[in-house]
C-alpha cells in the first residue's frame, strides 16, 4: 500500500508540474487544457472499465467517463459558438505525456492492485486538476462563458475527488 501512496504522490507532483509550464494563458489555451484534462480522465475510465472486476470501481469509472465526456461536449460547443480554436500549449502537452506514463503503469496491473492504483490515480489527478482550475485556469479565463463552464466543472470534479477518496477506503 505504501508503494501506491508513493505512486499517487509522484503523480500529483508531476501533474502539478505540468500545470506550471505556462504563466500567461490565453482563453484558447485554457480551453485546450480543460478539454485535454477531461479527455485524459475519459481515457483512464475506459481503461478501468476494460480491466476492473470490482462493481464499485466500475460504477465510478462509468461516472468519470460520462461526466468528463459531457463537460468536454459543452466545452466543444462553447468554443464552436464563440468561433475559438483551442490552442495546444506546454501545459496540455505535459498533461498528455504524464497521462501516457500513468496509463503505462496502470496497464501492467490487474485485479485489486489495478483497482487501488486506478483510484489513487484518480484522487491525485482530480486534486491537481481542481487546484489548477481554482488557482490558474478560472482566474486566468477572460471570457465569462468559459469561466462559468470551468467553475461548473470544478464543482463537479471536486465531487469526483471526494467520491474517489471514499472509494479508496473500500477498495482493498
4-8, 159-163, 164-168: least confidently modelled range? 4-8
pLDDT (0 to 100) of residue 23: 60
**pLDDT tens figures, 53-80:** 999 999 999 999 999 999 999 999 999 9
9 has pLDDT over 90:
no
Distances (CA, A) of 108 to 5, 14, 47, 115, 123: 17, 20, 12, 12, 19
* Residue 9 maps to a domain: no
- The answer to whether 94 touches 18, Cβ cutoff 8 Å, is yes
d(CA 92, CA 161): 21
d(CA 69, CA 51): 20
* Residue 8 maps to a domain: no
1 has pLDDT over 50:
no
**pLDDT tens figures, 81-116:** 999 899 999 999 999 999 999 999 999 999 999 999
Average pLDDT over residues 154-164: 97
Number of domains observed in the structure of the chain: 1
* Residue 2 maps to a domain: no
38: domain range?
Answer: 26-170
Greater model confidence, 2 or 60: 60
Predicted confidence band at 166 (pLDDT cuts at 50, 70, 90)? very high
CATH number at residue 48: 1.20.1260.10
* Residue 12 maps to a domain: no
* Residue 7 maps to a domain: no
**pLDDT tens figures, 109-122:** 999 999 999 999 99
Predicted confidence band at 172 (pLDDT cuts at 50, 70, 90)? confident
Please choose, from the candidates 60, 10, 11, 70, the residue with its C-alpha nearest in 3D space to the C-alpha of residue 39. 70
Average pLDDT over residues 147-162: 96
d(CA 126, CA 62): 16
* Residue 115 maps to a domain: yes
pLDDT (0 to 100) of residue 24: 87
Please choose, from the candidates 159, 169, 156, 138, the residue with its C-alpha nearest in 3D space to the C-alpha of residue 25. 138
Amino acid at each position: 500500500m505504501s508503494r501506491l501512496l508513493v505512486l499517487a504522490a509522484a503523480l500529483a507532483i508531476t501533474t502539478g508540474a505540468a500545470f506550471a509550464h505556462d504563466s500567461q494563458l490565453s482563453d484558447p489555451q485554457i480551453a485546450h487544457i480543460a478539454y485535454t484534462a477531461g479527455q485524459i480522465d475519459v481515457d483512464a475510465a475506459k481503461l478501468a472499465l476494460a480491466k476492473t472486476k470490482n462493481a464499485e470501481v466500475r460504477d465510478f469509472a462509468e461516472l468519470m467517463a460520462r461526466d468528463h465526456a459531457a463537460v468536454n461536449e459543452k466545452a466543444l460547443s462553447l468554443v464552436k459558438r464563440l468561433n475559438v480554436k483551442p490552442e495546444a500549449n506546454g501545459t496540455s502537452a505535459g498533461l498528455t505525456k504524464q497521462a501516457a506514463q500513468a496509463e503505462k503503469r496502470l496497464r501492467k496491473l490487474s485485479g485489486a492492485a489495478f483497482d487501488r492504483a486506478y483510484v489513487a490515480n484518480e484522487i491525485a489527478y482530480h486534486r491537481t486538476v481542481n487546484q489548477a482550475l481554482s488557482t490558474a485556469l478560472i482566474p486566468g479565463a477572460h471570457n465569462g462563458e468559459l469561466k462559468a463552464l470551468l467553475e461548473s466543472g470544478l464543482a463537479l470534479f471536486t465531487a469526483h475527488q471526494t467520491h474517489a477518496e471514499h472509494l479508496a477506503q473500500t477498495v482493498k
